[in-house]
Amino acid sequence: MDYKETGLDAVFSALANAHRREIVDLLSLQPASIRQLAERIGMSLTAMTRHVSVLEECGLVVRKKSGRTNFLAFDRQTMRRFQAWALQYDTSWGTDEETLENYVAGIRAAESEQRATKASNE
19-32: pLDDT as tens digits: 999 999 999 999 99
Q: Is the pLDDT of residue 56 over 90?
A: yes
Do 57 and 28 share a structural domain?
yes
Question: What residue numbers bound the domain in which 117 lies?
Answer: 91-122
**For the purposes of burial, counting CB atoms within 10 Å of the CB of 25, is it exposed (0-12), middle (13-18) or buried (19 or more)?**
exposed
The pLDDT tens digits of the residues spanning 61-120 come to: 999 999 999 999 999 999 998 888 888 877 655 666 667 777 888 889 888 888 888 777
38 and 53, same structural domain? Answer: yes
pLDDT of 59 reads 94
